[in-house]
Each structure stands twice: as C-alpha cells, then as structure tokens.
Chains A and B, each alone.
Chain A
Amino acid sequence: MKLTDKLIKAVDKKLERFDPMWQSEHGVGGLRSRYYDKTGVAKYREWRGVKDTFYDYSQWLKNLMSMGMMVGSAPLACLKGFWEYRWMGSYLGTFMFIDRLFEGYRGYELRIAHMNMHAIVQSLTKKIALVLANDRRFGGGPLTDRMVPMDEVLPPLFMAGFKDLIPVPLQTLPEFIICDIDQHIEPYYIDVAESYGLPADVCSRCAAETGVTIDDAFPIFGKGFLSTNMPCNASEATSMFQRRRVNLPYQPVTMAMIHNEPGAHPYSTQELKNAIAFIEKEYGVKYDWEALFERAKHMNEQNTIELEKWDYFKTPYSALVGIAETLYRLYSWASVNGQEDYFTKTDRKVIAIMRKAYEEKYQPFSGKTRHRAFLWGPSAVYYTDFPTWIQNCWGINIVLNMDSTMGHNMISTTDPEQAIKDLALFSEKGVMRHHAVGGWDNVNAVWEWAKNFNCDMVLCNDNVACKGMNGVHALLEEQARDLGFHFIFIEHDLEDSRTVSRQDMRKCVNNYMSVVLNEQPLDPTIVEFDDSEAY
C-alpha cells in the first residue's frame, strides 16, 4: 500500500464517525442527522471519506465554474432573467439538488453520477445563457430569429437537418427541468392556471405549463412554433393556450397515439415531413440531410452505449445506478437528443468505468442492495431524489426506469427516406409515452422488462391525475399478484407536492416494506421526516 493510501485510510478511520453511512450502521445517526428540520438545508456537507469527499468537492467546483461561465457569457441577460422570471430564481437551488441526489453515493457510482450530472449542468447553463441573451423580452439577440421554439416532448433530433437553426424546447427552462430542482416552483404556476378556471384534477405538469403561459413566463424568440400531442391528452390541450400566447405561426406535430401498430408509422413519418416543410417555409431555410446524419451518428452511438449499459444493469455490478441513470437519460434523450458532442463523450467515459467496475465485481452502495426494482410510470418530478432515498432507506436499487427505455432504435445515416421513418418510430416512443400511451400491451410490458433485468420488485408511479395509467390500476395489481412480483403503487401528483407530499410517497414504500415484507430500514433516520420546506 502506498503511503498516501495509508494516510487516507488513517484519516478515514479517524473521521468515520462523521460519515452518515457509518452512523446509521452504528445506530448513532444517519443521512438525515445533518439537516435542519423541514428545510432540506444541511448543516454541513456529507463526509464520504477523504477520496470521495474531495471528488465531490472538485465536482462542486466544476459545476460552480459552469454557472460562472453562464453568467460571464451573458451577464446582463442573466441578471435580467433573474429579475424577470420567477423560475430563474429556482435555479439557485441546483447545488442543494445535486447534493440531495447523490447522498450515500461512494466510489464508482459517485464518479459516474457526477460525470452525468456535469454533462447536464454544462448543457443547461449554456442553454439558459443562450435563451436569455436572445430573449425578445430583453431586446433580443443575434440568434433570436434562428431559434425554433418547440414543445419539450417533441424529440428535436430531426431538427438537426437545419444546421443554421437552434431548436429550443420551450417549456424546458421554466418547467421541465426546474420542477426537478425546486418542488415549490410549479405549484405557483398551477395556481395561476387554476385561478383562470382550470380544474385541479388535470395533470399537474400540463396545468403548470398552462400557468407559465398565462403568467407570461416563457422567453420569447423564434419565427415559428412546433407543438406536439406528446405525450398525452392534457399536454395536447395545453398547446391551444401556448398557440395564443406564443403567437407565432404554429404547427402541431401529432404523432400516432396507438404507436405500436405498423399503420402508425407512415402517418407519423408524414407528420415529421410536414414539420420540416413548415420550418423551411417559416425560416426560409433548406433541410440538409447530411447535417442530420452527422447528429444521428451521435444519437446512434449514445443508444448503442445505452444498450450496453443495460447489460450491466442486469447484474449486481452496475456502477451506474438510480437517479444518476434516470435523470441523465431523460435529459440527454429528451433535451439534447444527439445534438451535443459532450454527451457522447460522457457516455464513452461512463461505459469505460462501468466495464471496469463490472470486471472488478464492484457492487454499488457497499453491496447493501436488498431488492432490485423496475420503476414504471411517469415519476414525480418534485421528488427527483426518490430513487436515492429508497436505496438508502430500504436497499431498493432502481435498476431502470420506464422513461429510460424510450426511443432506442437506430437512425439511418445514409438514406433520407429511411432516416425519417426511423425518426418517426424513435419520436413516437418519447418521454412518458413509450410505455404509458398506446394500449395495454405497452404498459403490460413491465413484467418482461422487470424479468429481463432480474428485478424482484416493480415500483409503479401512480400519478393521481394520469387518466391513462389510472385506467389500468387493477389490471396491473392483478398481474403483479399472478406473476409473483413485489409491487408498490407510489401515489404522487407529478408536479404538485401539495397534493401528495414527498413524505406521503415515502409512506407508500414504508408501509409495504414494514408491513408486507417485514423488513427493517437500513437508515432509520430517513424513514419518516419532514422535508416540506425543502426545494
């Protein structure tokens, strides 16, 4: 053993009583001990041992630098953004958010988690700077007319064929991402929508989008707006409000709802072609297939790597786990969609570590995993760290989540006609859609997925306002019983933490684990706690 290693070991031994994992093992505290009650504010950061703490610190610095660069690249626009948009204030909670997500992470899983997270942070900060610097509300910028506002759940890869245009998911900044960071931001917008007569029983994500629209909180840019019917009913309905507010030439790209039938794809293909024609007309540009192929190669590589990751997920030796997997896949697929090199590079680095960890038979979370779970149904975005909590509290490793299975078919990089067909199939299977929409068979696929990934448990996100998933409630329960899976419905209200709080969600799991399975928590400090005032 090298001298430095010896030194580190000695320091680790000396300071181990500050490590929450050690504390919970020895019954003298745990992950919740270092928090001020309710707030989610930690008295001090998690001590993870010398190596991991310093690694976490270095990544904190790296993310801090990205944020500094964001402000530095467009200082005035950023200041104006903070002043104008309520949702911009919520981005200040990013560090607390990252800390929350990776509690209890050590070793390889911590490294991969931070690589993935930094990819998101550097991309998002650039996007914020870009949008604010070109927001017509603040006088616009050189790229204002080259930006294309698109619905956040319309996969933007097909737009890569417009090499001089920049597709920007319209709802991403005020809603799609920020709701993960701050549980209190979207209820404000939901209230705005409800104050205009919208019932409280509609999907809260769409209610929030409508609230942002009514509250005039979208950045303003572009010359034509692409909306979509994806993923489902309420999302379709929100478009009519956005159409009025955005007030630009408008093209809804309506992909087939029942998308698991051959007849659906020609229709969706034509929809994409019509969208391309719309952009060509409104922006006066020509579609360039070579430019598309260039980005499609990146998406294909990312999807190839993703499929390899899945092989590791099937084993106990995957160093990519829980929210580090979920959030990255969601962002890299839905928002980036092959358009940024950084994500391909990150994937290459991550898969290399995963291979190494597998060879070493490295088990994440010190091998404390008791159950392997597949997470099905759209997740509560106000409780992004739920997978972290369930691992730390009950040793349930969320191996893969439904939305990570979206669009993983390869896109042709040589034949335009085939490429657009591939893109249609790829896009039909988007966020909250691949398995939640289009018929029972898509939902019922969960058991096959769970079996293939060697899971003994299925956690089903039960969005109280999701009419589609509510519609198969009993069938899912009956299937779980028949097939012998541990099965927990986790009630939530997607973006409205007031209806079903984080603690209420934890309670669903706590009850099952203690009453049905008669198990003891790994960390008793996080079984029940109040984090209602946390971001």
Chain B
Amino acid sequence: MKKVFKFLLKFLGKLALVGLIGFAVTFVIYMANAENKLIYYVVRPLLNKHYDAQVRDRRI
C-alpha cells in the first residue's frame, strides 16, 4: 500500500514537473510571441521561396 502510494506520489510529482515545465515553455513561447516570429521571419520566407520556384500547370 505504502509502495503504491509512493509510486503514485512519484508519478504525480513527475507529472506536475512535466506540466510545470510544459507550462513554463509554452507560456514563454506565448508571451514572447516566439512562434509567430519564427513563422514570419523564418518559415514563411523559406516556403515562399519554394512556392516562387514552383512550375505550375497554368491554363484556362
């Protein structure tokens, strides 16, 4: 019983830790607007480069 309780406590503790880290990381990303900066300054310019290089089947 004690063992199970200990395991549960450990598990919940780990879960809380992961949750806390998860929260900290995502909240920092959120507040710093990091994902939007990454998309705007890195991802989209790369994608646009690719789109501009595409040969499309343009016709009426």
Contacts and interface: CB of A to CB of B under 8 A. Distances in A.
- Chains A, B in direct contact (C-beta < 8 Å): yes
Interface of A: 39-45, 57, 60-61, 82-83, 86, 89, 92-93, 95-96, 99, 192, 196, 214-217, 241, 244-245, 535
Interface of B is mostly: helix
* Main DSSP-derived SS at the A contact region: helix
Of B40, B44, B50, most A-chain CB atoms within 10 Å = B40
B2 interface: no
Contact of B39 (A44, A92, A241, A244): A92
Contacts of B36: 41-42, 95-96, 99
A216 B56 contact: yes
B1 to A, nearest CB: 35
B47 A82 contact: yes
A82 B46 CA distance: 12
Contacts, number: 62
B26 A61 contact: yes
B47 A215 contact: no
Given A45-B31, A89-B44, A192 B51 contact: no
Among B48, B50, B51, the one with the most A-chain Cβ atoms within 10 Å of its Cβ is B51
A99 B27 CA distance: 15
A57 B43 CA distance: 23
Interface range on chain B (Cβ under 8 Å from partner): 20 to 34
Contacts of A42: 33, 36
Nearest to B48: A89
Nearest to B50: A83
A99 B44 CA distance: 18
A484 B48 CA distance: 49
Contacts of A83: 50
B60 A241 contact: yes
A220 to B, nearest CB: 12
Contacts of B40: 39-41, 96, 535
A57 B58 contact: no
Interface string B22-51: 000011001111011101110110011011
Contact of B60 (A40, A43, A244, A535): A244
B6 interface: no
Nearest to A82: B47
Given A41-B41, A196-B60, A216-B59, 13 more contacts: A41-B36, A42-B36, A43-B33, A44-B32, A44-B33, A45-B30, A45-B31, A57-B30, A89-B47, A93-B44, A96-B36, A214-B60, A215-B58
